[in-house]
Amino acid sequence: MRLSRRTLLAAAAATLPAVRARAAEPIMAGVSGPLTGPNAQYGAQWKRGFDLALDGINGAGGVKGRPIEYVFEDSQSDPRQSVAVAQKLVADPRIIIELGDFASPASMAASPIYQRAKLVQFGFTNSHPDFTKGGDHMWSNSTSQAEEQPNLAGYAAKLGFKRPALLHLNTDWGRTAKDAFVAAAPGLGMQVVDVEGYLAAEQDFRPTLVRARDSKPDGLVLLSYYADGALISRQARDTGVKLPILAGTSNYSPKFIELGGQGVEGDWVMSTFFPGDPRPEVQDFVTRYRKKYDQEPDSFSAGAYDTMVLFSLLCAQFGTTREAMQAGLLAIKDVPSVIYGRVTFDPATRRVLGANYKLLQVKDQKFMVWDGTPPAAG
Amino acid sequence: MGSWLDYTINGLIIGNIYALVAVGLALIFGVSNLINFAQGSVYAVGAYIGWTCFTYLHTPLAVTALIVVVACAGLGVAIERIGLRPLAGAARIAPLLATIGISLVLDQLLQIVFTPDPRALTSPLPNWRISVGGGTIGALDLLIAATGIVSAAVLYGFLRFTKLGWAVRATAQDRDAARQMGVNTDAVNMTVFAIASALGGLSGLLVGMYFNHIDPAMGFQATLKGVVAQVIGGMGNVPGAIFGSLLLGLTESYGVAIFGSSYRNLFSFALLLLILVLRPNGLFASARSTPPEPMTGSFVTPNRPVRVPRWAIVAAVVIAAAVPLIPAIPYVLQVLTNAWLFAMLAISLTLVAGTLGQISLGHASLLLIGAYASALFALDSHWPVWASIPAAGIVTALLGTALIAPSFRLRSHYVSIATLGIGEIVGLVILNWESLTRGPMGVTNIPPLQVGNIELDNPRAAYWITLGILVLLAMMQTRLLRSHLGRIFRAIRDDDVAARAHGISLGRYKAIAFAFGGFAAGISGGIAAHQYSYINNETFTSTVSISALTMVILGGMGNVLGAILGAVALTALPEMFRGTAEYRMLIYGVALLLLVRFRPQGILGTT
C-alpha cells in the first residue's frame, strides 16, 4: 500500500476523537447509597433524580465541555459497607465530591474517612442534627427539622388543631422531627396530647391509632415516610378515626395516594415542592420527569435532582478539584432549586435554610394546594 | 372498656394475618424439621403475581387467587427439587442455609423485575364494612380469617384421613422407617412444599391487599412473625400455628395499649422466650409427645476436616500482616478490616454453634452490646479506648451469657429461635432505654481508636490492630478447643444425654462457651464503634446475624480457621460483585447456593 497524503490525513483524523475524549474527560461524583436491601427504593429514586439532572446538564454541553458523571456504589445503607465504599471513593482521584449515604448510621460511620481525605461528603438526605458536625467537610441540603417542624406546626394551627396527637417513625430522623414539633406547639397555642413512636418495619397501626384516639386529640400529625403515612391514614379510617390528618414533607409522593387510596382522601400534606408551582425550575423538573419516567416525582428524587444541579454549578463556578468543592460550598450563593427558592449554605452549620413550604390537600385522589377551607368538625 | 374491645379486635385482625404465614411454616417444619426462611419470599412472590394479574390481565379475584396458588405451588416444587433435595444426605444445617440462599435470590429477583418501589395491591372486594366497637371490619378481614381457618381444617383433614396425609405424617416421624415401608418420601416432601408454598403465595396476595402495599422486602418480617407464632403454638403443629398467631396479635395489641408503640415487638419476643422456657414444645403439644428432634448430633455431621499444616497458617498470617506494606488502596484494607471484624464474630459463633451445637440466630446483638458498652465507657466514663474495648468484651460476655442462660435447657431449633428472640429484644431495649443509650438518636462522637494520645485512625493501623486481635482470639480459641473443655463441648453437642450421664453439668459448660464467644463478639463490636464514630440501634441488625451464620457454615462448623476463611469470603464476595450494582446480592445468593450444594460441610470441614 502506498502512503498517500489522504491516508495519512485519515489516520490523523481517526486519532482525533481520542484526543477530544481526553479533553472531555468526565467530571466524577461518587454516590454511596442503597441499590439493594430494604432501602433500595430510595436509591432508585435518587438515580432518577440524578439522571434527569444530568440529561439537562450534559445535554447542554456539560461543564466547560466536560460531561458530569457519577459512580453509584451500593452500600445497602449499611455502615459496614458505607465505610468500605468511602475508602474506595476517597482513593479514586477522579472523584471530587461524594453524595449520600441514605440513613444516618451509614453516612456518619463514613464521615471520618471523608473528613480525613478532605473529600466533601454531601449527605442530601441526612437530617440528623449531628451529621454536619462530623467535620467541616460534611454538608447537607436536607431540609432541617428545626426549620421544617415549626412550619408544620404553623399549618396545624391554621387547620384549627388545638390538641394534636403525633405519630412518628422512631428513628433518629423521626425523633428529631418530633422534638422540634413538640417544642414549637405551645407557642402556637397547641398542646400535643399524645406521641406515638412506631418501629421502622411496622405495617399494622391499628392498636397505635386506638391509643392515639383515646387521648382525645382533634387532629393527627404524621411524621412518617410516604409508605407508612399511607398505611396509617388508611387504617385510621378503618378503625373509625375520622380526625383530620396532617402529614410532613416526606409523605409528599405520588405513592402516598397510590398506596393510601380513599384512605388518604382529604389528608393534608406539607411539601417543599409542588408540581403546580409556577417557578420555572420546578416546571422544568416536573415536565421532564414526567416525560422521562412516566410517573410523578417525589421529594427524594427532587432532592437528588437539586443536588446534581448544585454539583454542576460548583464545578462551573469554582473548578473541578476536591478543594474547589469545599471552597465553593462556602462561597456559592443563590443556587436555583426545586425544593428551596434559592440555595445558600450557612457556613457555620453547613446546612441550608429557607425551604418553601406549601400545604397541599388530597382531593379526588390528587394533590391540590389547600384552598383554606378548614376541616369539617371530626 | 370500649377501647379494650378495639384492642382485642385489632389484635385478632393482625393475628389472623400472621396465621397465614405461620401455617405454611408449621407444615414444612412438621415434615422436614426445617425452618423454611424462603417461605416469606414465596409469600412476596405470590403478592407480585397477584399484582401482575390484576394490573395486566384484569382477572377477577378468584381467578387471580387460583393463578397465584398454582404458580406458587410450582415454585415450591422447584425449591424442593432444585434447592433442597440434592442436600438430603448432607449436614442437617445445609437445607437451612439453602433456604436462606433461596430467599435472597427470590427477593432480589423480585426487586430487579418490579423495582424496589412499593406498589399498591388494591382489593377488588366490595367496600362494605361492619362496625365493631369503635372500628370496623371489612370483607377482606373475613376472607383472611376464613382462608386461615379453612386451610388449617383442610390440612388437618388431609393429614388425618388421606393416604398421602398418612405418608406425610409417617415421613415426619421417621423418614427412614417411612421409606422402608414403601413411602416415597421425596414425593411427600415435594407435596408438602407445594402445599405450603401455595398457601404462602395466597397469603402474600391477601396480606398485600389488606395493607394495599407490597414491596420486595415484605417477606422477611412475615417470616419472623410467622416463626414466632408457630413456636408459640408448637413447632410443626398446624392448628397450633393459628392459635399462636392470634395470641401473638393480641399480645402486640395489648402491649401497645399499655406501653406504647415503640415497645410493640418487645412483647412478641418476650412472649416467645417465656413459652420457650416454660413449654418448649409449644402450648399445644401434649406432655407425652416425643421430642420433634433426634437427640444426637442434631446439626453437625461429623466428617474429616481439611488439615491445614501449621506452616501454611503462619504463612497466611504473615502475608495478611504484610498486605498494608504494599502501597495497596485503602479500600482493600477497609474491606479486609471489616472481614477481620466479622471473623471475630464468626469464631465466636462457630464456638457456640459448631463446637457446642447451639445455633444462634441473634449473634449480632452481641456486637450491639459490645459497641454500646465500649462507646459509653469511653464517652460517659471517660475511659481510654484501649481500656474500654476489653471492658466491652467482658460486659458482652457477662450480659450475653446472662441473657441466654434461661434457654440453656433448650435444644437445636429452639435454641436458634430463642437467640433470634433475644437478639430482637436487645435491639428494642437499646432503642427504648434512652437514659442510657440515647435511643434512636444513637451515640455520636465516639473517639477513634487510639493508644495514649496517638490516634490510630488511618486504615493501616486499624487493619493491624484488628488483625492482631483476631489472631490472638483465634489462638486462644484453638487452645481452648484442644483442652478438656473442647472435648466436653463436643460431647454436649454430639449427645447431651450421654454427656450428662457422665456427670457433665450442661449449663455450666454452655455458660463458659457463651462467655468466651461473647467476649470475642464484644471486642469486635467495640472496635467497630470506634471505627464508625456513630452507632445506633440499627447499626447491627438481624441480617448481620444471618451473615455470620452463613460464614460459619461456609467455613465448616466449629472450625476456627474455617470461620475466618468464611468471613473473608463472604465480606469480599459482595465487594467483588460491586460493579454489578443491583445484581450483586443476587449473584451472592446464587454463589451461596452453589457452595451449599457442592460443599455442604463447609470449605474446611466441621470439627
Domain with B205 in it:
2-124+133-278
User: How confident is the model over B251-278, as a mean pLDDT?
Assistant: 87
B340 pLDDT band, cuts 50/70/90, is very high
Better pLDDT: B301 or B404: B404
In the predicted structure, residue B473 carries a pLDDT above the cut 90: yes
- pLDDT tens for residues B364-389? 999 999 999 999 999 999 999 999 99
- pLDDT tens for residues B445-471? 898 888 766 776 678 888 999 999 999
User: Count of CB atoms within 10 A of residue A375's CB?
Assistant: 18
What share of chain B in percent tops pLDDT 70?
94
- Which of B541, B564, B589 corresponds to the end of one domain? B541
From the CA of B121, how many Å to the nearest CA of chain A? 8
Together in a domain, A171 and A309: no
Establish if A151 belongs to a structural domain: yes
Establish if B602 belongs to a structural domain: no
- pLDDT tens for residues B554-593? 888 889 999 999 999 888 888 887 766 677 778 878 878 8
Establish if B285 belongs to a structural domain: no
Better pLDDT: B505 or A37: B505
B325 pLDDT band, cuts 50/70/90, is confident
The pLDDT assigned to A331 comes to 93
The pLDDT assigned to B537 comes to 87
Mutate to test the interface with B, among A45, A78, A80, A225 (most CBs of B within 10 A): A80
As separate numbers, helices (DSSP H) first and strands (DSSP E) second, chain A gives 12, 16
In the predicted structure, residue B18 carries a pLDDT above the cut 50: yes
Contact B45, B105 (CB under 8 A): no
Going by C-alpha positions, the residue among A371, A333, A366 that lies closest to residue A352 is A333
Tell me whether residues A35 and B582 touch, CB distance under 8 A: yes
Together in a domain, B26 and B173: yes
Establish if B293 belongs to a structural domain: no
Q: Pull the grid cell for residue B540.
A: 447491627
Together in a domain, A173 and A243: yes
Together in a domain, B206 and B270: yes
Contact B197, B248 (CB under 8 A): no
In the predicted structure, residue B476 carries a pLDDT above the cut 90: yes
Better pLDDT: A244 or B128: A244
Establish if A13 belongs to a structural domain: no
Tell me whether residues B533 and A108 touch, CB distance under 8 A: yes
- pLDDT tens for residues A342-377? 889 988 889 987 777 889 999 999 999 998 888 875
* Residue B333 burial by Cβ neighbours in a 10 Å radius (0-12, 13-18, 19+): buried
Contact B371, B389 (CB under 8 A): no
- Give the lowest-confidence range in A164-173, B46-55, B275-284, B474-483: B275-284
Together in a domain, A172 and A112: no
For residue A101, cis peptide bond before it (omega within 30 degrees of 0): yes
Going by C-alpha positions, the residue among B569, B529, B197, B534 that lies closest to residue B389 is B529
Question: What does the alpha-carbon distance between residue A254 and residue B507 come to, in Å, rounded to a whole number?
Answer: 56
Together in a domain, B354 and B430: yes
Q: Pull the grid cell for residue A257.
A: 395516594
Establish if A231 belongs to a structural domain: yes
For chain A, the C-alpha Rg in angstroms (whole number) is: 23
Going by C-alpha positions, the residue among A204, A151, A147 that lies closest to residue A176 is A147
- pLDDT tens for residues A213-229? 999 999 999 999 999 99
Contact A246, A222 (CB under 8 A): yes
Question: What does the alpha-carbon distance between residue B576 and residue B336 come to, in Å, rounded to a whole number?
Answer: 12
Counted domains in chain B: 2
What Å distances lie between residue A85 and A31, B31, B64, B465, CA to CA?
9, 44, 43, 21
- Which of B486, B507, B541 corresponds to the end of one domain? B541
Q: Is A264 on the interface with B (CB under 8 A)?
A: no
Q: How many CB pairs under 8 A join A and B?
A: 214
What is the chain A residue with the closest CA to B138?
A238
3-state secondary structure of A73: strand
Together in a domain, B263 and B340: no
What share of chain B in percent tops pLDDT 90?
34
- A230 CB neighbours in chain B (<8 A) are 212-213
Together in a domain, A106 and A74: yes
What is the domain-level CATH number for residue B72? 1.10.3470
Together in a domain, B270 and B344: no
- A70 CB neighbours in chain B (<8 A) are none
The pLDDT assigned to B71 comes to 96
3-state secondary structure of B356: coil
The pLDDT assigned to B300 comes to 58
- pLDDT tens for residues A189-205? 999 999 999 988 888 99
B296 pLDDT band, cuts 50/70/90, is very low
Q: Which of B338, B431, B574 sits opposite A170 (nearest CB)?
A: B431
Q: Pull the grid cell for residue B486.
A: 473442647
From the CA of A8, how many Å to the nearest CA of chain B? 40
In the predicted structure, residue B277 carries a pLDDT above the cut 90: no
How would you classify the pairing of strands A351-352 and A345-346?
antiparallel
In the predicted structure, residue B421 carries a pLDDT above the cut 60: yes
Better pLDDT: B213 or B300: B213
From the CA of B260, how many Å to the nearest CA of chain A? 7
Tell me whether residues B3 and A203 touch, CB distance under 8 A: no
Contact B345, B363 (CB under 8 A): yes
Establish if A170 belongs to a structural domain: yes
The pLDDT assigned to B84 comes to 86
Mutate to test the interface with A, among B20, B115, B268, B532 (most CBs of A within 10 A): B532
Together in a domain, A158 and A267: yes
B109 pLDDT band, cuts 50/70/90, is very high
- B225 CB neighbours in chain A (<8 A) are none
Question: What does the alpha-carbon distance between residue B117 and residue A43 come to, in Å, rounded to a whole number?
Answer: 10
Question: What does the alpha-carbon distance between residue A234 and residue B123 come to, in Å, rounded to a whole number?
Answer: 13
Together in a domain, B532 and B402: yes
B127 sits in which H/E element: none
User: How confident is the model over B399-417, as a mean pLDDT?
Assistant: 85
Together in a domain, B269 and B371: no
Mutate to test the interface with B, among A50, A77, A87, A126 (most CBs of B within 10 A): A87
Tell me whether residues A259 and B212 touch, CB distance under 8 A: yes
In the predicted structure, residue A68 carries a pLDDT above the cut 90: yes
Establish if B292 belongs to a structural domain: no
- Give the lowest-confidence range in A145-149, A165-169, B194-198, B510-514: A145-149
- pLDDT tens for residues B122-172? 888 877 778 877 777 888 888 888 888 888 888 888 888 888 888 888 887
From the CA of A259, how many Å to the nearest CA of chain B? 5
In the predicted structure, residue A14 carries a pLDDT above the cut 90: no
Q: Which of A38, A104, A231 sits opposite B217 (nearest CB)?
A: A38
- pLDDT tens for residues B20-42? 888 888 888 877 778 888 999 99
Average pLDDT value over all residues in chain A: 88
Together in a domain, B354 and B480: yes
The Cα angle at residue B294 between residues B290 and B300, in degrees rounded to 5: 160
Establish if B290 belongs to a structural domain: no
Together in a domain, A262 and A362: yes
In the predicted structure, residue A21 carries a pLDDT above the cut 60: no
Establish if B316 belongs to a structural domain: no
From the CA of A170, how many Å to the nearest CA of chain B? 6
- pLDDT tens for residues B530-552? 988 889 888 888 888 888 988 88
Together in a domain, A362 and A252: yes
Buried b (16+ CB within 10 A) or exposed e, A341-370: eebebeeeebbbeebbbbbbbbeeeebeeb
B91 pLDDT band, cuts 50/70/90, is low
Together in a domain, A149 and A264: yes
From the CA of B89, how many Å to the nearest CA of chain A? 33
Q: Find how far residue B253's CA is from the centre of its chain.
A: 24
Q: Is A240 on the interface with B (CB under 8 A)?
A: yes
The pLDDT assigned to B136 comes to 79
The dihedral over CA atoms of B125, A208, B538, B370, expressed in degrees to the nearest 10, equals -140
Q: Which of A83, A116, A208 sits opposite B532 (nearest CB)?
A: A83
Q: Is A176 on the interface with B (CB under 8 A)?
A: yes
Going by C-alpha positions, the residue among A199, A196, A186, A191 that lies closest to residue A218 is A191
Question: What does the alpha-carbon distance between residue A83 and residue B336 come to, in Å, rounded to a whole number?
Answer: 12
Going by C-alpha positions, the residue among A74, A69, A70 that lies closest to residue A102 is A74
Q: Pull the grid cell for residue A145.
A: 427539622
3-state secondary structure of A185: coil
Together in a domain, B394 and B537: yes
Contact A205, B262 (CB under 8 A): no
Together in a domain, B255 and B339: no
- A298 CB neighbours in chain B (<8 A) are none
In the predicted structure, residue A53 carries a pLDDT above the cut 90: yes
Establish if B235 belongs to a structural domain: yes
Counted domains in chain A: 2
The pLDDT assigned to A16 comes to 44
The pLDDT assigned to B297 comes to 44
Together in a domain, B65 and B168: yes
The pLDDT assigned to B574 comes to 80
From the CA of A192, how many Å to the nearest CA of chain B? 16
H-state helical runs in B298-358: 310-322, 330-349
Together in a domain, B367 and B241: no
- pLDDT tens for residues A246-284? 999 889 888 899 999 999 999 999 988 788 888 898 999
In the predicted structure, residue B104 carries a pLDDT above the cut 80: yes
What is the domain-level CATH number for residue A189? 3.40.50.2300
Q: Which residues make Cβ contacts (< 8 Å) with residue A7, sequence separation at least 6?
A: A1
Together in a domain, A149 and A137: no
In the predicted structure, residue A114 carries a pLDDT above the cut 70: yes
Together in a domain, A223 and A151: yes
- Which of B522, B541, B560 corresponds to the end of one domain? B541
Length of chain B: 607
What is the chain A residue with the closest CA to B131?
A240
Contact B362, B487 (CB under 8 A): no
Establish if A362 belongs to a structural domain: yes
Q: Which of B329, B536, B582 sits opposite A91 (nearest CB)?
A: B329
Tell me whether residues B256 and A200 touch, CB distance under 8 A: no
Q: Which of A84, A103, A255 sits opposite B117 (nearest CB)?
A: A255
Establish if B237 belongs to a structural domain: yes
From the CA of B114, how many Å to the nearest CA of chain A? 11
Establish if A5 belongs to a structural domain: no
Going by C-alpha positions, the residue among B368, B361, B477, B371 that lies closest to residue B419 is B361
Domain with A332 in it:
25-143+280-347
Contact A251, A229 (CB under 8 A): yes
Establish if A118 belongs to a structural domain: yes
Tell me whether residues B335 and A84 touch, CB distance under 8 A: yes
- A87 CB neighbours in chain B (<8 A) are 329-331, 333-335, 459
- pLDDT tens for residues B506-515? 889 999 999 9
Q: Where are the beta strands (DSSP E) in B332-456?
A: 450-451, 454-455
The dihedral over CA atoms of A135, B443, B441, B261, expressed in degrees to the nearest 10, equals 160
In the predicted structure, residue A6 carries a pLDDT above the cut 60: no
The Cα angle at residue A60 between residues A58 and A66, in degrees rounded to 5: 50
Residue with cell 474446611: B604
Together in a domain, A98 and A193: no
Question: What does the alpha-carbon distance between residue B330 and residue A116 come to, in Å, rounded to a whole number?
Answer: 13
For helices B412-432 and B218-233, what crossing angle results, to 10°?
120
How would you classify the pairing of strands A164-169 and A335-336?
unpaired
What is the chain B residue with the closest CA to A131?
B444
Together in a domain, A220 and A365: yes
Tell me whether residues B459 and A87 touch, CB distance under 8 A: yes
